[in-house]
Amino acid sequence: MLTMTNVTKAFGGVVATNDFSAHFTRGSLSAIIGPNGAGKTTLFNLISGKLKADAGSIVFDGKDITRLSPKAIVRCGIGRAFQVSSIFPTLTVAESLAAAVMAHQGQMGSLATSFATPRPTSSIKQRTAELLEMLGMESRAYTLARHLPHGDQKLLDIGLALALEPRLLLLDEPTAGMGPEERLLMMERVHHLWQRENITIIFIEHDMDIVFARAQTIRVLYYGALLAQGTPDYIRNHQGVIDAYLGTGFGEAEA
Ligand SMILES: Nc1ncnc2c1ncn2[C@@H]1O[C@H](COP(=O)(O)OP(=O)(O)OP(=O)(O)O)[C@@H](O)[C@H]1O
């Protein structure tokens, strides 16, 4: 599905992505972890086209997307929900989703321009209803996005990404800013979406309980390089990962 080969990106003297290679298989749910500044967000910026790699290649479903624009990459089927919510505060949940669906169906690539469309067609209404159901947000349909609790704002943000019908969804810290219970609930929803929609998800997460409970594969970044990749059990017991990131006692606490 997504193959990154020897991808490197530097900012001045800082090598944020260092000769990174990985293959993300179709239908997988995998996590990217690592200390602050390890290059996790940079990796997402490279995949989504916000940043261009200095070297290496990124191939998605057989197509080289290394040099494509963010809009072209969305059209290829890669969606992204952000660490900081990008919702429209003055729109309701249903209006926000409808705007995203309109942008997608019109292939305009920009949510802002979709407001020029006066009335949603029945296919847009139907897709909006599907998304509301998918997110479990039917009861929030007429709530202004700015009045949503933080967790639901993050969920709506994921909904906006899903409106673009991605085959690969990138989630940058889906549980950021949430309390422990809300985090678990959020990841349950993400897990449910993943199972139900049969999409491929890569998520960045700092909460190790969530990562080890939900990810099938974990990739550990350290100073921009891939330190280790494998199943939760493999990563939990990887001495290099314990030394660099997890710390001693993590495995015992989890066991
Ligand atoms: N646009 C930029 N200009 C200059 N340096 C940058 C830029 N973006 C990232 N960096 C640097 O690249 C390195 C990796 O940053 P990145 O944000 O990818 O790390 P991260 O693992 O996502 O961190 P965090 O966990 O804190 O979100 C850091 O040293 C950061 O300061």
Q: Is residue 154 part of a domain?
A: no
Which residue's CA is the nearest one to ligand 1's atom 28? 37
Q: To which H or E segment does residue 40 belong?
A: helix 40-47
Do 185 and 250 fall into the same domain? yes
Do 64 and 183 fall into the same domain? yes
Do 93 and 70 fall into the same domain? no
Comparing C-alpha atoms, which of 159, 25, 36 is closest to residue 87? Answer: 159
Tens of pLDDT, residues 73-83: 999 999 998 65
Do 172 and 216 fall into the same domain? yes
- Report the length, in residues, of the chain: 255
Give the pLDDT confidence score for residue 31 in this predicted structure.
Answer: 97
Give the pLDDT confidence score for residue 84 in this predicted structure.
Answer: 54
How does DSSP assign 181-196, residue by residue? HHHHHHHHHHHHHHHH
Do 246 and 177 fall into the same domain? yes
Do 68 and 132 fall into the same domain? no
Q: How many structural domains are present in the chain?
A: 2
Question: Can you say whether the dihedral through the CA atoms of 32, 36, 41, 46 is positive or negative?
Answer: negative
Q: Is residue 214 part of a domain?
A: yes
Compute the half-sphere exposure of residue 177: CA atoms within 13 Å on the CB side of its CA: 13
Which residues of the chain are under the pLDDT cut of 50?
107-110, 113-114, 116-118, 253-255
- Biggest CA-to-CA distance, the chain: 58
Candidate of 9, 17, 41 to mutate for ligand 1, largest count of ligand atoms within 8 Å of Cβ: 41
**Ligand 1 centroid distance, CA of 150 (Å):** 24
Give the pLDDT confidence score for residue 185 in this predicted structure.
Answer: 87
Do 205 and 132 fall into the same domain? no
Tens of pLDDT, residues 205-248: 999 999 999 999 999 999 999 999 999 999 999 999 999 888 86
Q: Is residue 28 part of a domain?
A: yes
Q: Is residue 193 part of a domain?
A: yes
Do 250 and 185 fall into the same domain? yes
| CATH, residue 202 | 3.40.50.300
Hey, what are 179's tokens? 């309390």
Contacting residues for 23 by C-beta, under 8 A, at least 6 apart = 2, 3, 4
Which residue's CA is the nearest one to ligand 1's atom 1? 11
Q: How many CB atoms lie within 10 A of CB 110?
A: 10
Hey, what are 82's tokens? 């952000």
**Ligand 1 centroid distance, CA of 122 (Å):** 43
> Among the atoms of ligand 1, which is closest to the Cα of residue 39?
18
Hey, what are 24's tokens? 């993300």
Give the pLDDT confidence score for residue 252 in this predicted structure.
Answer: 52
Give the pLDDT confidence score for residue 178 in this predicted structure.
Answer: 86
ipTM confidence? 0.97
Candidate of 40, 47, 80, 227 to mutate for ligand 1, largest count of ligand atoms within 8 Å of Cβ: 40
Do 102 and 118 fall into the same domain? yes
Alpha helices in the chain (DSSP H): 40-47, 70-76, 93-105, 111-114, 122-135, 150-162, 180-197, 208-214, 232-236, 239-241, 250-254
Contact assessment for residue 228 and residue 40, using Cβ atoms and an 8 Å cutoff: no
Give the pLDDT confidence score for residue 107 in this predicted structure.
Answer: 43
**Ligand 1 centroid distance, CA of 49 (Å):** 16
User: Ligand 1 site: residues with CB under 6 angstroms?
Assistant: 11, 14, 16, 34, 36-42
Comparing C-alpha atoms, which of 93, 100, 101 is closest to residue 122? Answer: 101
Give the pLDDT confidence score for residue 168 in this predicted structure.
Answer: 97
Residue 129's domain comprises 88-147
